Structure 1
Amino acid sequence: MERKFDFQPKLISALKNYSKEKFMADLMAGIIVGIVALPLAIAFGIASGVSPEKGLITAIIGGFIVSFLGGSNVQIGGPTGAFIVIVYGIIQNFGIEGLAIATVIAGIILVIMGALKLGTVIKFIPYPIVVGFTSGIALTIFTTQMKDLFGLTMEKVPADFISKWIAYFEHFHTVNPWSFVIGIVSILIIAVSPRFSKKIPGSLIAIIVMTVIVYIMRNHLGIAGIETIGDRFTINASLPQPEAISFNMETINLLLPAAFTIAMLGAIESLLSATVADGVTGDKHNSNTELIAQGAANIIVPIFGGIPVTGAIARTMTNINNGGRTPVAGIIHAVVLMLILLFLGPLTKHIPMACLAGVLIIVSYNMSEWRTFRSLMKNPKSDVSVLLVTFFLTVIFDLTIAIEIGLLIAMFLFMKRVAETTHVSVSKDEIDLSDEGEIHHDEEVLTLPKGVEVYEIDGPFFFGIANKFDDVMKIIGDKPKVRIIRMRKVPFMDSTGLHNLESLFRLSKAENIHMILSGVNEDVRRVLTKSGFDKKIGPDNICSNINEAVRKAEEAVK
């Protein structure tokens, strides 16, 4: 029997056969992932337009909920680079309160998607659209970091891509050479460190080294002008109190498009991360449970001032590579981050902004998937156009517009391809029975009586194919005495297909043409019965196979 509500957290099954060996593996993985997540959570928080501890709060609470309730054994949740653009835009337009409302609505959407078992549907979003999003977001993140990398003196950075670059060039004379050097050295440390240390992340090494150097430069060498986190933010190294979020229909209507973008982006990224993890571990995640967990995290985190949560591919892979195999590792990662916030939080104020810019530039490079982007450019024109449209919409306009139009394009492409697989053929004199699926036949050719035409639909009979059926009818032109609509290869029929069939029946009846259906399967017959069409055409005119339909047609033409 199929489950009505598909919610099965992996933590429950993981704890049934849990052992000390598994705990030690999870403990090591959780500690390492927590350390890896630290600089990223701070960087993503600041880049999104909130204070650094908000990024950490998101990783702590969101990471805990995703692991506690999630449908993947190894998924690590938290803030990610993909959300920087959309979060920054929402804060600019609607403030922190607007972001909280949008995130909660997004969480509700994700829970509903999981409850309606839409987890598997998300996986069918075309790959060029996903690459277009991520590459566009990567370029946008790279663009947002130019001010801090070069230490430019600017009161306000414009929101849109082109205006940003214009403003950068206008203020380029304010470059701080020290900031630029710190940013470049940070990038080099992150790029080179994997050759020397696989366990300790390059971003953490860069932050520690550059923070110490900048502290000495500022306090002992008298070098001023190098901006740090503490110059821009006041760090609150404590767990926040929950705050109520007020809703009204006006703000909901205003923020619904942004919330939908957060939900879709979160669903795509989380399930993509879980799928990649499955490929490495050989496990199988529950996509609907994962969506419900992501939704719950996004409903709760804003109450504590956090930003949107999703599955993070890089941190999830770090978890797997360091031995994490159950959700306990993700819970430990959240605990590690909480301890760092409480006991080492005040030290984060010394981190130079140029160093964080370097961290995010590496993140944007890794997100860019430029090799994949280049290889997709060799694909069919339809895929290339989808890739470029989503990429340029993401970069030049807005991620909300890009996701909405990208999904619209995906649906049109899907309908087009399904419609292309459905064919309508006409037989007037005889039917070849050598490849039949309805019933076994002794003869290989079935001769049709004069005045009988057989229209065979091969594929789904839905709104994308209804017009194709009409076109075939117009081409035939002449009027038979009997029309047999052969539906043995029709797996399903929607309301538009039914409407098309009813129109054909009315037209045939007006022209005194007898209509018979052949080879109708149970699903299609159920649609005909529910609509009452079976009574209109007459139950005797719905035949189980073509032989029966032709015998019925012979009686009608006599």
Structure 2
Amino acid sequence: MSLASFSAGNLKGDLYGGLTAAVVALPLALAFGVSSGAGAIAGLYGAIFTGFFAAVFGGTPAQVSGPTGPMTVVMAAVYTQYAAIDPVTGPAIAFTVVMLSGLFQMLLGMLRFGQYITQVPFPVISGFMSGIGIIIIMIELGPVLGHESSKSVLMALERLPDQLAAIHWPAVLLALGTLFLVSIWPARYSKIIPAPLLALCVGTLVAMGLTDPLTVDTIGEIPTGFPQWHWPVFEASLVMDMLVSALILAALGAIDSLLTSLVADNMTHTQHHSDKELTGQGLGNMVSGFFGGLPGAGATMRTVVNIRAGGQTPVSGATHAVVLLIVVLGAGSAAEYIPLAVLAGLLIKVGWDIIDWSFIRRLFSAPPFVSFLMLLVLGLTLFVDLITAVGVGVFIANMYTVRQLSEIQLKNFSVYREAESASELSAEERALLSGHQSKTLLYVLRGPVSFAAARGVRQKLVAYSDYNLLILDMTDVPLIGSSTAMVIEELIQQCQESGCELAIAGLQNPVVRTLEKLQVLSQIPENRRFANRLEALKNTVADSSLPPAMEPA
């Protein structure tokens, strides 16, 4: 358990950090709950259960978890999708998806995927985070104008003309006032009263002072008391859709949490445990789903507030959850007067802060590919879905990186035919190469050979013909992948078909193991395997009576 890092000497700081984080989390949890369609109480339940279990069992001591903007965007789509199919069982199915997402996150942690998730390229992260910020702003335009929120960017754009034609000005003024207050509130005063809580209280008091016909929509009745346990509900025809939705939530929650973990590391000068963090977050989401709560992740703003207030151990995250539970048990009814426009104002500020303005300012000065990738992921996030955006972005980024690395690797490879050009060879090696009378190609490979670089090896050989012996010097190759091994097999087969011999020198143990596992090494006779290129040149002679080698395809 993460509580092993508990320090009695920091108990005061942890308790104060947790209390401060809870004050910040309260209005945001209510806002995220309303925005998701599941209700304000679902946001509070999500903050309570993900906050507690992720703190106790997670791998980032000072992190505070709960509903976040990205997770709420996806949950809103999930809740709307299943509620539209069946208004009675749909919500239960949606929370079953939350349970499954938690299970998938736990599996990611147990399978040690945490170390890979944070390796998503920066332009991809920038694109989908900015996309999420814009989505939050767009779907909250409705409540700002005094109408219901939209469920997608396209829906928000379609509704906007009609909403602008029927603006409800009290709602607009409340939303703008909230946005203005949270934007200008000095940071030094936030230690006394956080800006979101102040805006929530002021906005609610102002709304309560309004009289007909200027009244605005409010949250409405909120259940009080301890949440009820809900068993999972499955619909046979929807199982595949449920699994896909759960995977999307799990993947996004993992990325969201681990990015926040990096922020916490930088502030506390510690190192989080990625796999343990995923396990704790997964457990929190699974429990949250059982109690009808929203899915959550590591929340950057709440984590930063917690650390600055003195929180250092999981006690602070657990305290934040307990404080919110006390609010639900005793003061939930007071929240029913909170105007939806005020919550919309808070969420628009959240969306604005999520957008990666730092990168956007560099968009036109950044390398063209980087800017293209960021904009592509941004567009896919807005108009398709988050997982497609991240998947396509990572795939394209990896292909681009592989191409660049293969070009660098190919430049480090050398092909020698004439001894005069072989400056890196010793005098003895050059003399032996001269004795082969230009019938031998010595191909020197260096560094890890990727699949793309191995393909380049074949292409580089196209420029040479009339050779009867090919020596592959792999002395400086520490490892190869299975794809590279298969390319070597293709070279062996091409040499056999063209009457050319192939010898190989300097194989290191990791390379030998890969070639043996794929049964490639056995295709090279033992008398054509050498410890180094000197031995290879000494013990092979290009037979001039053989027909000229065919150019590799």
TM-score, length of structure 1 as denominator length: 0.90
Which of 457, 460, 463 aligns to 2:445? It is: 457
Give the AA of the match of 1:174.
Answer: A
1:312 and 1:183 mapped to 2: Cα distance?
Answer: 23
Quick one: which of 78, 99, 106 aligns to 1:104?
A: 99
Question: 1:409: how far off?
Answer: 2.1
1:244 equivalenced with 2:239 (yes/no) = no
Matched, 1:120 2:107: no
Deviations 1:260-312 (A, max 9, x none): 32222112111111111111211011111112222222222211111222111
Cα contact 1:434–1:444 (8 A) shared by 2? no
Query: Contact between 1:493 and 1:524, CA under 8 Å: does it hold in 2?
Result: yes
Structure 2 gaps of 5+ residues are 84-90, 546-553
Q: Deviations over 1:355-391 (max 9, x none)?
A: 1111011111111122322224421111111100011
How far 1:431 moved relative to its partner? 8.5
- Does residue 1:67 correspond to 2:62, yes or no? no
Residues 142 and 163, structure 2, Cα contact 8 Å, conserved in 1 = no
Answer yes or no: is the 8 Å Cα contact 1:415–1:464 preserved in 2: yes
Does structure 2 retain, via aligned residues, the 8 Å contact 1:46–1:52? yes
Structure 1 residue aligned with 2:418: 429
Once the 2 structures are TM-superposed, how far is the Cα of residue 550 of structure 1 from its aligned partner? 1.8
Which residue is equivalent to 2:269?
Answer: 282
3-state secondary structure, aligned to 1:509 = helix
4+ aligned runs moved over 6 Å, structure 1: 431-436, 441-444, 555-558
User: Whole-Å Cα distance in 1 between the matches of residues 242 and 421 of structure 2?
Assistant: 59
SS in 2 for 1:217: coil
Q: What's the offset of the Cα at 1:554?
A: 3.8
Matches within 5 A, 1:491-502: 491-502=478-489
* Counterpart secondary structure, 2:232: coil
Partner Cα distance (1:532, 1:396) in 2: 47
What is the deviation of 1:102?
3.0
The answer to whether 1:180 aligns with 2:172 is yes
2:497 is the alignment partner of 1:510: yes
Aligned to 1:225: 215
Q: Secondary structure in 2 aligned to 1:308?
A: coil
- TM-score of the superposition, structure 2-length normalised? 0.90
Instruction: Name the SS for the 1:283 alignment partner.
Output: coil
* Other-structure match for 1:167: 159
**Would the aligned equivalents of 2:207 and 2:215 in 1 still touch at CA under 8 Å?**
no
- Answer whether contact 2:135 2:152 (CA < 8 A) is retained: no
Instruction: Work out the CA distance in 2 between the residues paired with 1:351 and 1:271.
Output: 32
Deviation at 1:42, TM superposition (A): 0.8
Task: Please list the CA deviations of residues 56-112 of structure 1 after superposition, one character each: whole Å capped at 9, or x if unmatched.
Answer: 111111011111111111111111011222111112222323432333333233222
- What is aligned with 2:528? 541
What SS does the corresponding residue of 2:38 show, helix, strand or coil?
Answer: coil
Match of 1:522 among 503, 509, 520: 509
Cα separation, 1, equivalents of 2:431 and 2:251: 52
Q: 1:133 matched to which residue of 2?
A: 128
Give the one of 384, 387, 410 matched to 1:400: 387
**1:391 pairs with 2:378:** yes
**CA gap 1:416/1:354 in 2 versus in 1, 3 angstroms:** same
Native 8 Å contact 1:459 1:491 kept in 2: yes
Kept in 1, the 8 Å contact 2:72–2:294? The answer is: no
Q: Deviations over 1:11-68 (max 9, x none)?
A: 22x13xx22x311110110110111111111111111111111111111110111111
1:454-489 deviations in Å (ceiling 9; x for gaps)? 12233433433332122112222x142221112233
Q: Does 1:39 find its partner at 2:27? A: yes
* Structure 1 range deviating more: 532-541 or 521-530: 532-541
Aligned with residue 297 of structure 2, among 310, 314, 325: 310
Structure 1 residues 202-248: Cα deviation after superposition (integer angstroms, max 9, x where no partner): 01001111112212324xxx454311111xxx311222222111346
Residues 385 and 555 of structure 1, relative CA distance in 2, 3 Å threshold: closer
Letter in 2 for 1:229: I
Greater mean alpha carbon deviation, residues 520-529 or residues 94-103: 94-103
Contact 2:140 2:150 in 1 (8 A): no
**Which of 191, 200, 207 in structure 2 is aligned with 1:207?**
200
2:548 counterpart residue number: none
Judge conservation of contact 1:118–1:288 (CA < 8 Å) in 2.
Answer: yes
Matches within 5 A, 1:20-39: 21-39=9-27
2:551: which partner in 1?
none
CA contact (8 A) 1:462 1:495 kept: no
Following the alignment from structure 1 to structure 2, what is the Cα–Cα distance between the partners of residues 369 and 446? 61
Report the equivalent of 1:5: none
Q: Percent identity?
A: 29
Over 3 Å counting, the alpha-carbon distance change for 1:30 and 1:163 in structure 2 is closer
**Unmatched tracts of structure 1, length 5 or more:** 1-8
- Shift in Å at residue 316 of structure 1? 0.8
Report if aligned partners of 1:482, 1:557 keep a CA contact under 8 Å in 2.
no
User: Cα RMSD (Å) of the superposition?
Assistant: 2.3
Q: CA–CA distance in 2 between the matches of 1:251 and 1:489?
A: 54
* Shift, 1:393, TM fit: 1.3
